[in-house]
Amino acid sequence: MEIDHNFYMNLAISEAWKYQGLTYANPAVGCSIVGEHGELLAVEAHHKAGEPHAEVNAIKAAYYKLTQDEKILQLISSSQIHIYLLQNHNNIFKKCSLYSTLEPCSHVGKTPSCANLIAELGIKNVFVGVEDFNTDAANGNTVLEKSGANISLHVEQQKCEDLLFPFKKFMSDKFVFFKWAQRLNGTTDAGIISSAESRKNVHAMRDVCDLLVIGGNTVRNDRPTLDARLVNGKAPDILILSREKEFDTAIPLFHVKNRKVYIESDFSRMNDYKNIMIEGSAKMYELSRDIVDYYLCYLAPAFGGHDGFKNIEDKFQILNADKEEEDIIMWMKRIEDYE
């Protein structure tokens, strides 16, 4: 295995994918920091909108690794961490290299600017996967150049583009992903499939989705709640795709507070939303095939069940496969020209 700039960028990319979807309305971003002698100091990601950016999480972790100053571990908000680092960095980052999947931001929003922080700390080498297209946040590279940092652009660019794509999509239009859980033998029926860890991850996804799309038959058969109770999160609005508009109103999903439920026969409602998860199996897969950007599969290493994705021919590219304690979580895109 070659240990080079791509290696450190790939560590950042893998870490970022663990939070893909969960960072909405922010992008999924990862960041590694390597010290003066090539020592790996931190690999971190952005976890959730409102929380510190990947660069700040990584600089915080690197600062602790270099100084063992436990005070920084107490600091949670991005502002606190920025202020503490600016006051206490003692130039320990001067000879470090920073790898960020996305150009560090230049705008001061919920947090101060990452580019300014990196410039103030005097980080010597900055490796960037992909430049920011968001005019509010872009120009981080300009800030860094002025500070005298060496900037290398387009490190593992394609992988960083794939990571950033959902952000680009919901910023310009809407991002639609199709999520399902299956066993290794391809079945999606017959009771609970995913591990507790995966189910919690799905609830975290629901917490940040603004619309969840589900088929009418699934609602009738499974009588689901479709909330985010496992993470104490908010329940997304629901679009039930169904020609038949009557449902038993005792089904729990209709009784979740602060939620709209639409029962409609097409997907046009999606145009009112930005971050949309479709939950389903074979039938919904086929119905939504032309409007889905990415696929998210929770794969449980088990044989069992009966029905799954039959009579469908499609090919995917695996963008990331993350082995959890039990399951594998895969983000994929469909290969368009597959016949």
Q: Which is nearer to a copy of itself, 41 or 149 (CB)?
A: 41
Contacting a copy of itself within 169-208 (CB under 8 A)? 182-187
CA distances from 85 to 46, 58, 93, 137 (A): 18, 12, 10, 21
Q: Which stretch binds a copy of itself (CB under 8 A): 48-56, 106-114, 269-277, 297-305?
A: 297-305
d(CA 293, CA 247): 30
Q: Which of 6, 35, 124, 189 binds a copy of itself (CB under 8 A)?
A: 35
311 φ/ψ sector (left φ>0, alpha ψ -120 to 50, else beta): left
Q: Which of 5, 6, 48, 65 binds a copy of itself (CB under 8 A)?
A: 65
Our finding on whether 316 is near a copy of itself (CB under 8 A) is yes
- Catalytic-residue membership of 120: no
Q: Which is nearer to a copy of itself, 41 or 204 (CB)?
A: 41
Residue with tokens 């979740």: 256
Q: Which of 246, 248, 290, 313 binds a copy of itself (CB under 8 A)?
A: 313
Confirm if 175 and 293 have CB atoms less than 8 A apart.
yes
d(CA 44, CA 30): 6
d(CA 273, CA 303): 37
Our finding on whether 289 is near a copy of itself (CB under 8 A) is no
Determine the longest span between alpha carbons in the chain, in angstroms. 67
Instruction: Work out whether strand 237-241 and strand 294-300 pair parallel, antiparallel, or are unpaired.
Output: unpaired
Q: Which is nearer to a copy of itself, 230 or 302 (CB)?
A: 302
Which entry of 2, 36, 39, 55 is annotated as an active-site residue?
A: 55
d(CA 190, CA 303): 11
Q: Which of 9, 28, 43, 54 binds a copy of itself (CB under 8 A)?
A: 43
Our finding on whether 3 is near a copy of itself (CB under 8 A) is yes
Q: Could you give the residue numbers annotated as active site?
A: 55
Binding site for a copy of itself (CB under 8 A): 1, 3, 11, 15, 35-44, 65, 182-187, 297, 299, 301-304, 306, 308-310, 312-318, 321, 323, 326, 328, 330, 332
